[in-house]
Amino acid sequence: MDRIEAEPAIAIGDDPAMQVDADPAVEFDLSGYLLSRQAVVESHLERALMPRYPEKIFESMRYSLVSGGKRLRPVLCLAGCELGGGERELAIPTACALEMLHTASLIHDDLPAMDDDDYRRGKLANHKVFGEGMALLAGDALLSYALEFILLNTRRVPADRLLRVMQTLINRVGVSGLVGGQVVDVESEGRDDVDLATLEFIHSRKTGSLIDAAMVTGAILGGADEDTIARLSGYARRVGLAFQIVDDVLDVTSTRQQLGKTPRKDEKAHKATFPSLFGLEGSMRQARELVDEAKRELAPFGGRAVPLLAMADFVCTRTS
Ligand code: FPP
Ligand code: MG
């Protein structure tokens, strides 16, 4: 396979949005920061899947991967790497792999056997275009491709760090993470007795796991010490839960145009959500409290944490 380029599409030194060591009180240009990071990730994802025989599976994988998501997990991974003390180039293959893993989970999540959604990221869901069999296989393929992608493309990272990155990702995707959360989500559908502990279990696994993996792997790749890794993980777990609470709220309040997927699915599927337990305002209050807690984890990092502080706030103000 092609090796991804070591050179970033946008050099850090040229990009004002990357100058984050300045006075945190100065207004931070989050949108410029996100756009520049997303562009780096996008350019690498674009080249990550070169079609070969059998072309159909590459077409299906590419259809869902290169489709303009928010790229939150890759951006967090790059930020974790830099906060941990490394150059962001070290984390680019892992950042891309995180998006592949996330995309794999969304392809499967949309299947009729799961959430049965026809739309994702503003276009038809993978199985609506390629059929259920190919969509299943595209998810499977992205899962293993992601891990192989890290091993084939990561440069200048000691083997013990890389091993820890792989172990973290495998753990967060499997029964202790995404799969475990999704299992309880599926089992809870249509039930009236889903309590807060169960809901938190679902959300922290099916969404929080990969957000946590993004921060932790970024920090490991950057050579962070254990205290930094633990703080970034604490930040990620809170932001991850807040992100899913807001997702539940947007499912009630937003349109398909805004979301790029079908709204009001949770109610139709009779799913327990934060709004169903606490109402819209109560849910947003909890999301904001989690974001405040997440930000407190970053206090020791001062101005270096400004992008992560801004991203935490963004979780509660986003509309899609
Ligand atoms: C979306 O949640 C679903 C997830 C974030 C996780 C889905 C996990 C799996 C299918 C198991 C793991 C599978 C692989 C291939 C790793 P949602 O349904 O609440 O949000 P939505 O409205 O965006 O669909
Ligand atoms: Mg879904």
Write the DSSP assignment of 138-163 as a string of letters.
HHHHHHHHHHHHHHHH--S--HHHHH
Q: Which residue's alpha carbon is nearest to atom 4 within ligand 1? A: 206
- Which band of pLDDT confidence, cut at 50, 70 and 90, is reported for residue 192? confident
Two structure tokens written together for 53: 């025989």
Contact partners, residue 136, CB within 8 Å, separation at least 6: 108, 111
- Which pLDDT score, from 0 to 100, does residue 26 have? 57
Task: Sketch the domain layout of the chain as residue ranges.
Answer: 30-317
Q: What is the mean pLDDT of the chain?
A: 89
Residue 139 CA, closest ligand 1 atom number: 15
Question: Whole-angstrom Cα distance, residue 320 to residue 318?
Answer: 6
> Helix, strand or coil for residue 120?
strand
CATH topology of domain 30-317: Farnesyl Diphosphate Synthase (1.10.600)
Query: How much distance in Å is there from the Cα of 41 to the middle of ligand 2?
Result: 24
Banded model confidence at residue 14, pLDDT cuts 50, 70, 90: very low
- Contact between 266 and 117 under an 8 Å Cβ cutoff? The reply is no
Tens of pLDDT, residue by residue over 279-309, are 999 999 999 999 999 999 999 999 999 999 9
Q: Whose CA is nearest to atom 11 of ligand 1?
A: 179
What's the pLDDT tens digit per position in 235-246?
999 999 999 999
Residue 142 Cα to ligand 2 midpoint, Å, equals: 18
Ligand nearest to the CA of 182: 1
* pLDDT at residue 4, rounded to an integer: 31
45 Cα to the center of ligand 2, angstroms: 23
Beta partners for residue 124, in sequence order:
119
